[in-house]
Amino acid sequence: MHVVLVEPEIPQNTGNIGRTCAATHSTLHLVEPLGFSLEDRYLRRAGLDYWESLDVRVHKSLEEVWSAYAGHRFLYASSHATQSYNDVAYQSDDLLVFGKETAGLPAKLLEEHSAYTVTIPIAADARSLNLANGVAVVLFEAYRQLGFPYLADE
């Protein structure tokens, strides 16, 4: 599986997501601009010693990711989507795309890919989940459906 963070802003979130990706043998893609340096101490602290074993790839744009992974399915997470994340039949090479903490993914992008957008159902009076928590929820549902294949790697 692949987790794509588009313009992440908070190093602690990215560090926690990196830790989750390392623990599940998932690839983490970071789409620039980043709101921090990859040398940020908060990023490293949140990722702990997992950061060194993480497969992390930095891209100049989302278009670059689309080009590099043409033929793969992209799923876009948004609090504005109507399809629940657990209604999707995940595939092992899916790319799970999440937007930046303050704005999410652009509305135009979500409109253009509406058939591939997913949401995590939450209470109506809550705006959204923390990015790191949202990634974990969706990623672990995908792996649950796939039988946690990263456990066979050990």
- Give the per-residue pLDDT at 51: 74
Regions of the chain where pLDDT drops below 50: none
- Give the per-residue pLDDT at 128: 86
d(CA 35, CA 120): 25
pTM of the model: 0.94
**DSSP class of residue 133?**
H
pLDDT digits (tens, 9 = 90+) for 23-63: 999 999 999 999 988 876 766 665 556 777 889 999 999 99
- Report the residue count for the chain: 154
Fold of 2-153: Alpha/beta knot (3.40.1280)
Geometric angle at alpha carbon 7, from 54 and 143, rounded to 5°: 45
Q: With contact defined as beta carbons under 8 Å apart, do 77 and 85 qualify?
A: yes
- Give the per-residue pLDDT at 43: 66
- Give the per-residue pLDDT at 139: 98
Best CA proximity match to 32, nearest among 2, 67, 5: 5
H-helix segments, 34-82: 41-47, 62-68
